[in-house]
Amino acid sequence: MRRKVVGIDVGGTFLKAAAVTEEGRIVVKEEWPTEVVQGTAAVLDRMAGIARAVAEKAGWTWHEVDGIGLGVPGFHDFQNDLCEESVNLGWKNVPVIAEMENRLGVPVRFDNDANAAALGEAWVGGGKDYRHTLFVTLGTGVGGGIVIDDQIYRGANGMAGEIGHLVLEPEHGERCNCGHIGCLETISSATAILRAAKQRLQRGDESSLRMVENLTTRDVFEHAAQGDRVAADVIDYAVHKLGYALALLANTLNPEVIVIGGGPSKAGDVLYKPLNRYFQTYALKRVVEAAEIRPAELGNDAGVLGAAKLVLG
Ligand SMILES: [Zn+2]
């Protein structure tokens, strides 16, 4: 019999859930506000509620559901199935598996949200035709995950794949949320790119970006592609550091594919041409030969699909 699972991407603002087939097809999906302010038990109740809601909308009876997978932001203790700390959710030491299995009566699996997205992309997205996937997502921060043969590599205490905190500018970089200075995410995240562009404008640099109302990261990429000097400089710096970081990681992991996610991943040649060039500058030749750099394919669905895949194994 075909297996049926539900994946939930648990965010600080929204819960996204999908009923997913064992081939990785989304039958139906739904989004509810998380309502973190109502407290941990209420959020867990809502997670159980959205799981039942998507299963019902998919036309599945509850006893047909093989399990629930969760992508949960924060730091987790996978030995004891605990969410140790999630700043986004306001959780401390929440036994998330036990809580959800009590509510739902089916097996529950969980992982960190970035790992879940990495697994989704490796399974049916940008990494689907490859065995060794390195996933990097450029958003508010820089997240990542390492997936080998459809299994997440978690490391000793769940910290593998924290690519955003590679320290690349220890002397004159910006302070990162993690406490260090000059992490990759302070340089190459979508947020960092936008901040750098705004700093250049505040400094008085002449740029076509000045004409843009409500400047976004996407505008910076677009103006760089059109030849604006300031936008091009900002992008070049962010992409240079990203390419360097990917080369360090690739020399260590020898991935078959590096999947880039997040808003900037859709920027096209203005991202991928220099990224490939910098990657080739710093990575070993045989490492470069084995690795393709590709955009993510699943967008916001990566998290729910990867969460579902946690159940399927
Ligand atoms: Zn950091």
Per-residue pLDDT of the chain (313 residues; tens, 9 = 90+): 789 999 999 999 999 999 999 999 999 999 999 999 999 999 999 999 999 999 999 999 999 999 999 999 999 999 999 999 999 999 999 999 999 999 999 999 999 999 999 999 999 999 999 999 999 999 999 999 999 998 999 999 999 999 999 999 999 999 998 999 999 999 999 999 999 999 999 999 999 999 999 999 999 999 999 999 999 999 999 999 999 999 999 999 999 999 999 999 999 999 999 999 999 999 999 999 999 999 999 999 999 999 999 999 9
The pLDDT value recorded for residue 91 is: 97
The pLDDT value recorded for residue 2 is: 82
Distance CA(108)–CA(161), nearest Å, equals: 23
What is the distance in A from the centroid of ligand 1 to the CA of 163?
Answer: 9
Contact (Cβ atoms closer than 8 angstroms) between residue 43 and residue 11: no
The pLDDT value recorded for residue 23 is: 96
What is the distance in A from the centroid of ligand 1 to the CA of 184?
Answer: 7
What is the distance in A from the centroid of ligand 1 to the CA of 135?
Answer: 18
Domain 4-119+301-312 indexed as CATH 3.30.420.40: yes
What is the distance in A from the centroid of ligand 1 to the CA of 278?
Answer: 22
What is the distance in A from the centroid of ligand 1 to the CA of 235?
Answer: 20
What is the distance in A from the centroid of ligand 1 to the CA of 171?
Answer: 14
Quote the longest CA-to-CA distance of the chain. Answer: 65
What is the distance in A from the centroid of ligand 1 to the CA of 225?
Answer: 29
What is the distance in A from the centroid of ligand 1 to the CA of 92?
Answer: 21
Distance CA(105)–CA(108), nearest Å, equals: 9
- Sequence spans of domains, the chain: 4-119+301-312, 129-296
Contact (Cβ atoms closer than 8 angstroms) between residue 10 and residue 72: yes
Domain 129-296 indexed as CATH 3.40.120.10: no
What is the distance in A from the centroid of ligand 1 to the CA of 177?
Answer: 6
Query: For the whole prediction, is pTM greater than 0.85?
Result: yes
From edge to edge, which strands make up the β-sheet containing 292-295?
151-152, 142-148, 132-138, 257-261, 292-295
What is the distance in A from the centroid of ligand 1 to the CA of 187?
Answer: 10
Q: Coil, strand or helix: which one is 242?
A: helix
Strand partners, 82: 77
- Tell me whether domains 4-119+301-312 and 129-296 share a fold: yes
Contact (Cβ atoms closer than 8 angstroms) between residue 103 and residue 40: no
Residue 297's Cα: distance from chain center in Å? Answer: 12
What is the distance in A from the centroid of ligand 1 to the CA of 140?
Answer: 12
